[in-house]
Amino acid sequence: MSTDERRMAVLSAIVEDYVSTSEPVGSKALLERHQLNVSAATVRNDMAALEDEGLIAAPHTSAGRIPTDAGYRLFVDRLQAIRPMSKGERSAITRYLEGADDLDEVLERTVRLLATLTRQVAVVQYPSLTRSTVRHIELVPMSPDRLMAVVITGAGQVEQRVVPTATDYTTGTGAEALARARARINAATTDRRLADALSALSTLHAEDADTEDSLTAGILAALEDALAEERQAKVTLAGTANLARAQGDFPLTLGPVLDALEQHVVLLQLLSVEAGQDEGVAVRIGTENPVSGLQSTSLITSGYAAGDEHVGNVGIVGPTRMDYPAAMAQVRAVATYLSRIMGH
C-alpha cells in the first residue's frame, strides 16, 4: 500500500468513526477499531500529515481529530462505488411512491420517504413544465376595438389577454377575418411546446400580413406569461425536525439553517446544482454551498426525469457529519423511482 493509499485509509477511518460516534477520533481508537496493519507511530504521522493538508482538524476541547470540509470532499470523491440498497428497501420505495394519486402527493411522499430514510431534511423540486404544449388559442371579440385572446396549455393553464384592435371583429366581414386569423394562429402553435409556439408565432407575425399585428402581439404576450409562470418552479420539503436531532453538529444555532430552508428561492438555487455525471449524484459540502446560512451543512442531490427529459432535482440537506455513502445511495434510489413514476 502506498503512502497516499494508507493516508486515505486513515482519513476514511476517521470519517467513519466521527460520523458514527460524533466524537473526535484519536490514533489509539483508530488502531483499536480498524485493521490498518501499521504501527501507532505511523498512524500518528499520517494524522499529522492529514492535518497539515487541511483534511482533518483538532477541536479546541479534544486531543482527537475530526474531518474538515476538505476531508469530507476527498472522502466523497474517492468513494469507489455508492453502496446499493437492499432488494427489500427498493421494493418498499416502489410500493410507497406508486401509491400516490397525483403529482402533489407523489412529491409529498418522495420527501417524506427520503427524510425517513436519511434522517435529514429532504427537498424536491417540482418538475419544470416548460415542456407544456399549446392546446388551443381562442380569440373572442368583446367590442368593436377590443378582443380577448385566451391561451390554453396542455397542462390546463389558461392565460388571457385583452387586446386592442384596429379591426372591428364583431361585423360579418370581421368575423370571417378573425376565423382565418384563428386558424392560422392555431396551425402555427397547437401541440407545440410553449417556447416553440412563441418562435412559430413570431415567424407568423413577420410573414402574415393578413393577421393583425396587435392581435399577434397580444397572443405573444400571453404565451410569454404562460412560459414565465411555468418556469417559476417550486419546492416541497420534509424532515426539518431532523435538524434538532443533530443540533450539536451546528456551531452556533439552527436559526440561519432554518431561515435558509424557509426561503424557497434559496432551495431552488441549491437544487439547480447539476447532478454528477458518474453516479447521477452531486454533493456540496459545507463552505461549497453559496448560501451563508447553509455553510454548516452538506447538500446531496440527484436529478429525476420524465421520459428522456431531466425535469427536476431531489435531495437532502443535513450536517456535514453524515453517512455520505448511504445518503448518496438513498438519494439516487429515490430519484430513480421518481423518474419511473414521472415517465408513466
Does residue 70 contact residue 286 with C-beta atoms inside 8 Å?
no
Please indicate, yes or no, whether residues 147 and 246 belong to a single structural domain of this protein. Answer: no
Residue 82 lies in a domain: no
Does residue 130 contact residue 150 with C-beta atoms inside 8 Å?
no
DSSP 291: S
**Helix or strand or coil: residue 235?**
strand
Per the structure, the count of domains in the chain is 3
What's the CATH code of the domain at 103? Answer: 3.30.450.40
- Whole-number Å distance between alpha carbons of 27 and 36: 11
Is the entire prediction scored with pTM above 0.85?
A: no
Computed over every residue of the chain, the mean pLDDT equals 83
- Whole-number Å distance between alpha carbons of 106 and 312: 13
**For residue 121, what pLDDT is reported?**
92
Please indicate, yes or no, whether residues 124 and 237 belong to a single structural domain of this protein. Answer: yes
**For residue 231, what pLDDT is reported?**
57
Please indicate, yes or no, whether residues 244 and 279 belong to a single structural domain of this protein. Answer: yes
Beta bridge partners of 281: 302
Residue 258 lies in a domain: yes
What does residue 307 show for φ and ψ, rounded to 5 degrees? Answer: 70, -125
Nearest Cα residue to 293 out of 121, 119, 70, 128:
121
pLDDT averaged over 10-residue windows placed end to end, the chain, 344 residues: 87 93 90 88 93 91 87 89 76 82 84 93 79 82 89 73 85 88 88 83 70 71 69 78 80 77 76 56 89 86 80 89 92 89 72
Please indicate, yes or no, whether residues 240 and 321 belong to a single structural domain of this protein. Answer: yes
Among candidate residues 44, 59, 77, the one where a domain is terminated: 77
Parent domain of 314: 87-128+233-342
Please indicate, yes or no, whether residues 116 and 256 belong to a single structural domain of this protein. Answer: yes
* DSSP code string of 57-99: E--TT-SSBEE-HHHHHHHHHT-SSPPPPPHHHHHHHHHHHHT
CB contact set of 185 (below 8 Å; sequence gap of 6+): 137, 139, 201, 204, 211, 216, 219
CB contact set of 233 (below 8 Å; sequence gap of 6+): 125, 126, 127, 128, 268, 312
**Helix or strand or coil: residue 342?**
helix
**For residue 55, what pLDDT is reported?**
95
Please indicate, yes or no, whether residues 118 and 246 belong to a single structural domain of this protein. Answer: yes
Evaluated on CA atoms 129, 130, 132, 137, the torsion sign reads: positive
Residue 144 lies in a domain: yes
Beta bridge partners of 133: 193
**For residue 278, what pLDDT is reported?**
42
Please indicate, yes or no, whether residues 305 and 239 belong to a single structural domain of this protein. Answer: yes
**For residue 246, what pLDDT is reported?**
77
Q: Which residue has the cell 493538508?
A: 53
Tell me the per-residue pLDDT of 113-140, one tens digit each, with 9 for 90 and over.
999 999 999 999 887 656 667 888 898 9
Please indicate, yes or no, whether residues 117 and 187 belong to a single structural domain of this protein. Answer: no
